[in-house]
Amino acid sequence: MPPFNFFDIVLFVISTPIGNLQDISARAISTLNACEYVLCEDTRHSRPLLDKFDIKKPLYSYHQHNEAYRSEKVIADLKDDLSIGLISDAGTPGISDPGHVLIEQCYAENIRVVPIPGACAVITALSASPLPTDRFQFIGFLPKQPGALSEALEEAIEYDGSTVCYESPQRLLKTLQALNDLSPDVPVAVCRELTKLHEEIIYKKATDQVEHFTRHPPKGEIVLIIGHYKIEKKFSFPPEKLIAWLLEEGLSKRDALQAAAKSLGVSRNLLYRLLMDKE
């Protein structure tokens, strides 16, 4: 594709800082200045950022509750030759933030989408953590429900690379405890308040993270990075024997696995993987 010029109709997806305002790029500022208007999650939140860089463009809200309706209007404006900028409260739009619906519609309408890259908490955290960066997955915010959380964490521990997720300070300790229950030695990086005054990256095994954050309740914004580790579990009763007994009782293989996992207090997936590893 040839390089765009400002006469093209373009939706610009513009990253903004995740804390330190000096992280805005010169290109982000010039692009914001060149747009007809800028879409943001919350105009009250983004106005001070635009003011700080003397960008006098109208701001309109674009968030999960109005994205379908707003996208229609924005597509009509783009077709009317107006270039439009999309930002989020912080970091890169579309990454656990609104943006996807509009971008998808732009492609359906042959409207060009141009990224103006910059800060993103996922990449910022990974870049300075000691966990491997050659292979990683990003899973957004972790589920809140305990069963789903434990399953997501199991998968993260077993993933052959680093798993990055967003976490809230209120839930961090519960998540670390769930990790500790599954695998106390799994390496974890808690990356807090990146690019801000109280920035810290704490790297320890799950069990030591629980101890640390019990003594120092966390505040601020958090990216959690979970390393790869082999889950080993000691059961009070041998799972193979339990499954054999359930099969004898007439349960199907699937139901026997499900019932055994429930009575041993692990997920069906984990029990299956542990049994496969033993073969």
Q: Which residues contact ligand SAM (rule: CB under 6 A)?
A: 18-19, 88, 90-92, 95-97, 120-122, 166-167, 191-196, 221-223
Which one, 47 or 219, has the nearer CB to ligand SAM?
219
Nearest alpha-carbon partner for 218 in 179, 156, 174? 174
- The residue among 200, 279, 218, 197 whose CA lies nearest residue 243 is 279
- Cβ 20 to ligand SAM shortest distance, Å: 8
When the beta carbons of 92 and 207 are compared against ligand SAM, the nearer one is: 92
Least Å distance, CB 251 to ligand SAM, is 42
- Cite the DSSP H helix spans in the chain: 26-34, 43-52, 67-79, 100-108, 121-128, 146-158, 169-182, 206-215, 239-248, 253-264, 268-278
Q: Kindly tell me which of 50 and 120 has the beta carbon lying closer to ligand SAM.
A: 120
Cβ contacts of 198-201, under 8 Å, gap ≥ 24:
199/19, 201/125, 201/128, 201/129
For residues 166 and 213, which CB has a smaller minimum distance to ligand SAM in the complex? Answer: 166
Residue with the two structure tokens 């101890």: 211
Q: What are phi and psi of 201, to 5 degrees?
A: -125, 115
> How far apart are CB 214 and ligand SAM at their closest, in Å?
20
- Closer to ligand SAM at the Cβ: 179 or 242? 179
Nearer to ligand SAM, 15 or 180 (CB): 15
Report the nearest approach of ligand SAM to the CB of residue 6 (Å).
Answer: 25
Closest CA to 204 of 175, 225, 174: 225
Q: How far is the CB of 48 from ligand SAM (least distance, A)?
A: 16
Q: Minimum CB separation from ligand SAM for residue 193, in Å?
A: 5
Q: Indicate the residue whose CB is closest to ligand SAM.
A: 91
Rounded distance, CA 201 to CA 188, Å? 10
